[in-house]
Amino acid sequence: MSWNDFFSSQLFGVIIGALMTGGFTWLLDCLRYKRERKAHIQQKREELYIQACHVLMEHDKYCRDHEWPKKCKEMFNELQGKMLIYASKKIYKQYYALDTEICSVYAKMKSKKQREEMSNQIADKVEAFASAMRKELGIKGVL
């Protein structure tokens, strides 16, 4: 059998068909993996951002009352590892800046009236932070 006969035989067609099918299957598997991985990370970010808002609101609530329970510190520390992995750099920096600001502002305020006034300003900043998270996640039409 010569090369000319081989290239014109059915066996060559079967080999080419198998290679094409295998290649397309591999390509589709790669694309599906990337899509599923992206969806998984998106879901983790959504869960993380909900937890981050909850932690900041709890933090604000307890600081307003001029208390710092162990619970808030534990919640904050528990979230640190997740923030490092799943949060974007922008959100990560905003989260820690906001948390630091909450701590420093309420530590300086002695009267309840001052703490209430600052609480409104902090609430506005937490809302802006939540808006930045919604924008990053592509959530529209909320608030």
The whole-angstrom separation of Cα 63 and Cα 69 is 9
More confident residue, 68 or 75: 75
Could you tell me which residues come within 8 angstroms of residue 22 by beta carbon, excluding any fewer than 6 positions away? none
Segment 38-50 shows an average pLDDT of 89
Q: Could you tell me if 55 and 76 are in contact, meaning their C-beta atoms sit under 8 angstroms apart?
A: yes
pLDDT band at 1 (very low <50, low <70, confident <90, very high): low
Predicted pLDDT of residue 106: 64
Segment 20-46 shows an average pLDDT of 93
Q: Report the percent of the chain where pLDDT is more than 90.
A: 17
Report pLDDT digits (tens) over 84-143: 888 888 888 888 888 777 777 666 666 667 767 777 777 788 888 888 888 888 887 665
pLDDT band at 19 (very low <50, low <70, confident <90, very high): very high
Residue from 64, 58, 75, 56 nearest 105 by CA: 64
Lookup: tokens for 15:
């080999």
For 3-15, b/e burial (b = at least 16 CB within 10 A) is: eeeeeeeeeeeee
Predicted pLDDT of residue 28: 96
Q: Could you tell me if 137 and 46 are in contact, meaning their C-beta atoms sit under 8 angstroms apart?
A: yes
